[in-house]
């Protein structure tokens, strides 16, 4: 394991940071224009495909679900055959290819491009996250903060992409937008190849040796099995978290556009700008939140990953309570529009919840998963977030029918209940982790 550090972390972390930044730039850039491209009129200056809203949203939901579900085969590919390092490389190449195929103006190219991107993200996303964990030895106290830094990189990509790819795609040419996303991924790939020297020994291919076969064939020990049980239970709760969070791109996007008063100092903020708000909050709050949790832990309070995930889900519930405030203004107080402050407050709470659970979950997985299922477990987590995405779409459809007030309240209560469930069982679940979270240098 290489020893050189930057800001107290292995240099490899920053290689993975920039690679993932550009992968997310490409992913969120594409995501920002997908529905707009599908629904844009098929004739005119910058023609789209001319689909209706419902079909476009359906494809969007299926796409975002598959992109994450493919993390399972992506993880298995790394565990069994390629190792994480090569899988990330392969994933990056598939994404680049996919984005440029999308840049071709034909419906066959469109579907081929989507399939390539889905496969590419599946091979890249879980495995690059597992590699971050591989930079730290068991018990290294820097692991959680390493994941926070990595998460900030993700969100720099997620913040800038809708603005840049959105602008070039929507205003100039959709296909230019897609290829810009492809150029982003090329940059990521260049950083990754150049930085390979800082990643020696991390995520290498499992040797097709008798030893590797033996490790893969050996059944899990009792401790390993119990750790897997904790992981799977915590994943179930995270479905609720992501189903709430991912409203942002779908239903909340429309809600912001149609119901929220977005006028500030006489200027109306475009609804799509609010799509960058979560990522903006993550960039601003990532370091203070990590510092807060460290302080909390040093004070001797409960600071296990399970606790933080439960806490994060409850704060997500509070975020939806703020939206209840917005819906109340419109449906009960009969104001024409809901105040923007509710949305700003709600998204802030979503991100406090996110920073308490999401980077923490990634780090937790790399501590708990048995070696032979390292990438598979990460893939399973992303698959769960994919199901959360799909569920978010279903909830959004429901909100369209039954009205937002009831749905916001319902989501909020669900988050409170599921978050509380984790908090209630935190001690028992911790026992089942068999000390996997103990730091050695404290």
Nearer to ligand GLN, 24 or 367 (CB): 24
CB 242, min distance to ligand GLN, A: 6
Q: Which long-range contacts (CB under 8 A, 24 or more apart) does 146-149 make?
A: 146/9, 146/10, 146/13, 146/363, 147/359, 147/360, 147/362, 147/363, 148/286, 148/287, 148/289, 148/290, 148/355, 148/359, 149/7, 149/9, 149/13, 149/17, 149/286
Please tell me whether residue 9 binds ligand GLN under the rule CB under 6 A: no
**Cβ closest to ligand GLN, residue 24 vs residue 175:** 24
The partner residues of 157 in beta bridges, in order of sequence, read none
Minimum Å gap between C-beta 125 and ligand GLN is 7
Surface-to-core class of residue 2, CB atoms within 10 Å of its CB (0-12 exposed, 13-18 middle, 19+ buried): middle
- When the beta carbons of 251 and 430 are compared against ligand GLN, the nearer one is 251
Whole-number minimum distance, CB 158 to ligand GLN, in Å? 6
Sites for ligand GLN among residues 333-362 (CB under 6 A): 358
Distance CA 37, CA 51 (A): 9
Nearer to ligand GLN (CB atom), residue 87 or residue 327? 87
* Binding residues among 105-164 for ligand GLN as defined by CB under 6 A: 154, 158
CB under 8 Å to 24, separation ≥6 — which residues?
A: 153, 154, 155, 157, 158, 161
Pairing of the two strands 9-10 and 5-6: antiparallel
User: Applying CB under 6 A, does 385 fall inside the site for ligand GLN?
Assistant: yes
Q: Do 203 and 84 meet the contact criterion of CB atoms below 8 Å apart?
A: yes
Output the smallest distance, CB 354 to ligand GLN, in A.
Answer: 7
What are the percentages of helix, strand and coil residues in the chain, rounded to 5? 80, 5, 20
Residue 358 CB, nearest approach to ligand GLN (Å): 6
Nearest approach, Cβ of residue 215 and ligand GLN (Å): 28
Q: Which is nearer to ligand GLN, 338 or 352 (CB)?
A: 352
**Shortest separation between residue 235's beta carbon and ligand GLN, angstroms:** 11
> Per rule CB under 6 A, is residue 308 in the interface with ligand GLN?
no
Return the number of the residue (154 or 436) whose C-beta is nearest ligand GLN. Answer: 154
Q: What are the beta bridge partners of residue 268?
A: 263
Q: Are 315 and 237 in contact (CB under 8 A)?
A: no
Q: Please say which residue, 14 or 242, places its beta carbon nearer to ligand GLN.
A: 242
Nearer to ligand GLN, 272 or 385 (CB): 385
Q: How far is the CB of 154 from ligand GLN (least distance, A)?
A: 5
User: Contact between 24 and ligand GLN (CB under 6 A)?
Assistant: yes
Q: How far is the CB of 278 from ligand GLN (least distance, A)?
A: 8
Contacts of residue 180, defined as CB under 8 A and 6 or more positions apart, other chains included, come to: 29, 164, 165, 168, 169
Residue 264, token pair as written in the block: 């500030």
Residues 66-85 that bind ligand GLN (CB under 6 A): 68
**Residue holding tokens 């290489």?**
2
Size of the site for ligand GLN (CB under 6 A): 7
Which lies closer to ligand GLN via its Cβ, residue 163 or residue 405? 163
- Judged by DSSP in three states, 261 sits in strand
Residues of this chain, 229-288, that bind ligand GLN according to CB under 6 A: 242
Picking from 156, 147, 100, 142, the residue whose alpha carbon sits closest to that of residue 128 is 147
Binding site for ligand GLN (CB under 6 A): 24, 68, 154, 158, 242, 358, 385
């Amino acid at each position: 394991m290489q020893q050189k550090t930057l800001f107290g972390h292995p240099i490899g972390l920053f290689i993975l940071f920039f690679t993932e930044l550009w992968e997310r730039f490409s992913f969120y850039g594409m995501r920002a224009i997908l529905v707009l491209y599908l629904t844009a009129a098929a004739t005119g200056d910058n023609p789209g495909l001319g689909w209706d809203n419902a079909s476009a949203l359906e494809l969007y939901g299926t796409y975002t679900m598959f992109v994450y579900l493919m993390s399972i085969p992506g993880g298995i590919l790394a565990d069994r055959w390629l190792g994480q390092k090569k899988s990330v490389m392969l994933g990056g190449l598939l994404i680049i290819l996919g984005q440029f195929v999308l840049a071709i103006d034909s419906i066959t190219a469109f579907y081929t491009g989507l399939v390539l991107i889905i496969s590419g993200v599946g091979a890249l996303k879980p495995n690059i996250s597992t590699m971050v964990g591989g930079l730290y030895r068991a018990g290294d106290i820097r692991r959680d903060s390493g994941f926070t830094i990595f998460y900030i990189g993700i969100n720099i990509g997620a913040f800038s992409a809708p603005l840049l790819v959105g602008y070039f795609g929507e205003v100039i040419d959709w296909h230019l937008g897609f290829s810009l996303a492809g150029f982003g991924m090329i940059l990521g790939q260049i950083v990754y190849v150049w930085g390979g020297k800082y990643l020696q020994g991390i995520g290498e291919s499992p040797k097709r040796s008798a030893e590797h076969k033996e490790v893969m064939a050996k059944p899990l020990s009792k401790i390993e099995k119990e750790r897997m049980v904790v992981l799977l239970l915590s994943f179930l709760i995270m479905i609720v978290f992501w189903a709430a969070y991912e409203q942002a791109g779908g239903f909340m996007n429309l809600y912001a556009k149609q119901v929220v008063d977005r006028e500030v100092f006489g200027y109306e903020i475009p609804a799509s700008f609010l799509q960058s708000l979560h990522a903006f909050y993550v960039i601003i709050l990532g370091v203070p939140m990590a510092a807060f949790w460290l302080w909390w832990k040093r004070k001797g309070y409960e600071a296990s990953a399970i606790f933080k995930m439960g806490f994060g889900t409850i704060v997500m519930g509070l975020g939806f309570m703020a939206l209840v405030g917005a819906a109340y203004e419109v449906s009960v107080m009969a104001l024409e529009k809901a105040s923007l402050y509710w949305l700003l407050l709600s998204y802030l709470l979503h991100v406090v919840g996110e920073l308490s659970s999401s980077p923490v979950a990634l780090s937790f997985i790399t501590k708990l998963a048995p070696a032979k299922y390292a990438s598979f477990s990460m893939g399973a987590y992303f698959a769960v977030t994919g199901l959360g995405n799909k569920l978010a779409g279903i909830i959004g459809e429901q909100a369209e029918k039954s009205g937002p007030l009831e749905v916001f309240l319902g989501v909020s209560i669900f988050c409170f209940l599921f978050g509380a469930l984790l908090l209630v069982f935190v001690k028992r679940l911790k026992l089942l982790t068999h000390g996997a979270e103990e730091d050695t240098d404290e």
